[in-house]
Amino acid sequence: MQSILEISGLTKTYAGGFTALRGVDLSIRKGEIFALLGPNGAGKTTLIGAVCGLVRPTSGTIHAFGEDMATHWRSLRARIGLVPQELATDMFEPVLRSVGHSRGLFGLPPDPAKIEEILRALSLWDKRNDQIRMLSGGMKRRVLIAKALAHDPELLFLDEPTAGVDVELRRDMWRQIALLRERGTTVILTTHYIEEAEEMADRVGVINKGEILMVDEKQAMMERLGRTEALITLTQPLGDVPDSLSAFPVSLDKDGTVLCYRGGGGDGDSAGTSEVAELTKALTRAGIDYSAIDIHESSLEDIFVDLLDGGAA
């Protein structure tokens, strides 16, 4: 797979002494949606800032489209778009003019048809003559997306695109981002909503305290680190886990009325469920009766929390 962005050994220590990035290595594939997942203060915005020219890296290199950003920043920045986290723009400008200005700032000739297409796609066309300050929060954020798209970037950064946005607008934003991918734009988004990464991303990178803890296909990450959890409600409480079940990763809960199984990690998605099937057979053989089985796969959230806990330990 062709790489569109290569970051290696990227470190950023701010003037105040705070180190926001500690030797980040990251490779982004052309055409993917990559979610950079991490808690607040993990270094997500700094990482984006370093690529987009808002932050000066302390050390390390950034290559975009195969060229070094430090030397070819002029031609490379023209191909990269940024939607910042804060709703920061001249709020008194009308939408259409603001988006047109963004295109001009990136050195491109006016293209009213292109701007109209972008505004229509983001459902902003009816508001094109309104001052940005008159729009709702969700619309303002879409204006910032329109501004970032005005120069037709091949690589788009979205910093917390759904922060402070209600559920419906968040779903709408996800649709817009999916549309971008269909158009061939590579999207890197940061989020601290696990649900968002789970919903949108092809690959997920987990970042904490300035370090990338893990990068993988979302699916692979969930399979590799995911666990199967089964809660088996027993008809008779047990005092101890019987020896016949000691081979299984089980424990007793709720005063011995619930048998908990947690396992299946590391071997792919079917290992856990098939082991639960074996467990039920073993229960039957041991003469232990049960009235219900609740079985589920752990979410990206569980994985994320595990990773961060592991990182802290």
Partner 1 sequence: MSLFNARSAWTIYKRELFRAFRTALQSIIAPVLTTTLYFVVFGAAIGGQMQGGMGGVNYGAFIVPGLLLLTLLGESTSNASFGIYMPRFTGAIYELLSAPVGVAETLVGFVGAAATKSLILATIILVTASFFVDYSIAHPVYAFGYILLVSASFSLFGFILGIWADSFEKLSVVPMLILMPLTFLGGTFYSIQVLPEPWRSVAMANPVVYLVNGLRWTFYGSSDVSIGLSLGLTLLFLAICVALISWIFRTGWRLRA
- Contacts (Cβ under 8 Å, ≥6 apart) of 308: 39, 206, 208, 213
Tell me which residue of 240, 271, 269, 235 sits closest to 253, measured CA to CA: 240
Question: Does residue 216 belong to the site contacting partner 1 (CB under 8 A)?
Answer: no
- Residues 59-78, interacting with partner 1 (CB under 8 A): 73-78
Binding mask 25-54 for partner 1 (x = CB under 8 A): ---------------------x--x--xxx
Contact with partner 1 (CB under 8 A) among 2, 40, 71, 109 = 109
Q: Is 165 exposed, middle or buried (0-12, 13-18, 19+ CB in 10 A)?
A: middle
Looking at the Cβ atoms of 80 and 225, the one nearer to partner 1 is 80
C-alpha 313/C-alpha 305 separation (Å) is 12
Looking at the Cβ atoms of 154 and 217, the one nearer to partner 1 is 154
Q: What one-character DSSP code corresponds to residue 94?
A: B
Helix (H) or strand (E) holding 74: helix 73-77
* Part of the chain binding partner 1 (CB under 8 A), chosen from 94-102, 171-179, 216-224, 285-293: 94-102
- Contacts (Cβ under 8 Å, ≥6 apart) of 42: 207, 208, 209, 210
* Part of the chain binding partner 1 (CB under 8 A), chosen from 1-9, 103-111, 168-176, 185-193: 103-111
Total residues contacting partner 1 by CB under 8 A comes to: 34
- Contacts (Cβ under 8 Å, ≥6 apart) of 139: 124, 127
Question: Does residue 164 belong to the site contacting partner 1 (CB under 8 A)?
Answer: no
Contact with partner 1 (CB under 8 A) among 38, 84, 205, 272 = 84
CB atoms within 10 A of CB 205: 25
Looking at the Cβ atoms of 78 and 169, the one nearer to partner 1 is 78
Which residues of the chain form contacts with partner 1 (CB under 8 A)?
Answer: 14-15, 46, 49, 52-56, 73-78, 80, 82, 84, 86, 88-90, 92-93, 97, 101-102, 104-109, 147
